[in-house]
Amino acid sequence: MAQSPPEALLPYHFDLPSELVAQQPLAQRDGGRLLVVRGGALEDRAFADLDQLLSPGDLMVVNDSRVMPSRCWVERTSGGRVEILFLEPGPGPVEVMLRPGRRLRVGEVLHGPEGERVELLEPRPDGTWRVQTSPEPQALMDRLGQMPLPPYIRRPANQSDRERYQTLFAQPPGSAAAPTAGLHFGAELLERLQRRGVQLATVTLHVGPGTFRPLRDDDLERGELHGERYSVPVATVQAIQAARARGGKVVAVGTTTVRALEAATPAGSDLPTASSGVTRLFLREGDRLRVPDALITNFHLPGSSLILLVAAVLGRERLLEVYGHAISRRYRFYSYGDAMLVLPAPS
């Protein structure tokens, strides 16, 4: 029986027709729709119109984390298939999730089809394992791995997902899920944005599988989420300062970008510092975002930490109005779905 969501999250739940959950990417990256939210106004546009909706001097900040092909299958010596989800790229011992995890023991070696080895070093209190692999984890994933599509995509990953469940910005490997707002950007749209005078900067936040885990009462009580590694470079801090000096907007592409920028911003400041670390930041209604002026984001799971972050931007009532409009207009939801652009209200 499914566990009931915490009572505090019930106001963030809504009914979503299952057919609106996108199961495949569109033929073109920027071929989806874009719901523009500007104060009390809503406008139905195409994502390819983004260069017309941003202004010269604006700065887009994107998450450049690379999704690892982290879902692999190996065999026990005694027989039986084990699914591995890598949570780190290595090298050296790394943390993984194993399924089924019962009856696995320390020191056991799991085998791949071409002699790959996964030695179980240590179980962790959170249910993960520390393992040592041969070859190194990244090479093993390149051989055996599939892209870790989220559970609401009800099909196996295929070869095309290796390209389409990855942004064009992807650089350092480390994510177990895509920073999905960035999936909408194709090379032609990026060129048009550049010609428009919209600049680009990057942060890194490695998305963990906890992004799909239902929120629990203790998450709400602690005010913390699962830890995710992030980095904000000096060049991005300087680009934010320059954008503000010329009167441009700072546009965060995705909730993961917001989380990295806000995690790097000291208390009492509205400018991030060049830094890296692990963040457990939990943003929700009532919190004020200090760095972004605008947000591009996909449509998220009811009651998730991601939808609560968007509520910090819009407020709960406005958020549910926007989502109601998206459902009535048959927008596509979640990772391979459509997007929304939240702009500052007209002055």
Query: What confidence score (pLDDT) does residue 270 get?
Result: 96
Amino acid at 13: H
Residues listed for the chain: 347
Report helix, strand or coil for 238: helix
Amino acid at 142: D
Query: What confidence score (pLDDT) does residue 182 get?
Result: 98
Query: What confidence score (pLDDT) does residue 209 get?
Result: 77
Q: Where are the beta strands (DSSP E) in the chain?
A: 33-38, 41-46, 59-63, 66-67, 71-75, 81-86, 94-99, 109-111, 117-123, 129-134, 173-175, 199-205, 224-232, 250-253, 275-281, 294-298, 339-343
Query: What confidence score (pLDDT) does residue 1 get?
Result: 37
pTM of the full structure: 0.93
Report helix, strand or coil for 219: helix
Q: Which residues partner with 231 through β-bridges?
A: 204, 276
Q: What is the DSSP letter of 21?
A: B
CB 5 within 8 A of CB 215: yes
CB 90 within 8 A of CB 55: no
Provide φ and ψ at 174, rounded to 5°: 165, -10
Query: What confidence score (pLDDT) does residue 5 get?
Result: 61
> What span, in angstroms and rounded, lies between the C-alpha atoms of 174 and 303?
26
CATH 2.130.10.10 fits 71-144, yes or no: no
Domain boundaries for CATH 3.40.1780.10 within the chain: 7-67+160-343
250-253 vs 294-298, strand pairing mode: parallel
> What span, in angstroms and rounded, lies between the C-alpha atoms of 289 and 263?
11
CB 25 within 8 A of CB 47: no
Q: From 181, 178, 186, 180, select the one nearest 51 (Cα to Cα).
A: 186
Max distance between CA atoms of the chain, in angstroms, equals 68
Q: Which fold has domain 7-67+160-343?
A: QueA-like (3.40.1780)
Report helix, strand or coil for 128: coil
The rounded average pLDDT for each run of 10 residues, N- to C-terminus, in the chain (347 residues) is 62 89 97 97 98 98 97 92 93 93 91 95 91 96 94 93 97 95 98 98 91 68 85 98 98 98 97 97 93 97 89 95 97 97 88
Domain boundaries for CATH 2.40.10.240 within the chain: 71-144
For the record, the structure tokens of 8 come out as 């505090």
> What span, in angstroms and rounded, lies between the C-alpha atoms of 292 and 286?
16
> What span, in angstroms and rounded, lies between the C-alpha atoms of 34 and 29?
12
CB 228 within 8 A of CB 279: yes
Cis ω before 93 (30° cut-off from 0): no
Q: From 251, 298, 320, 6, select the one nearest 150 (Cα to Cα).
A: 298
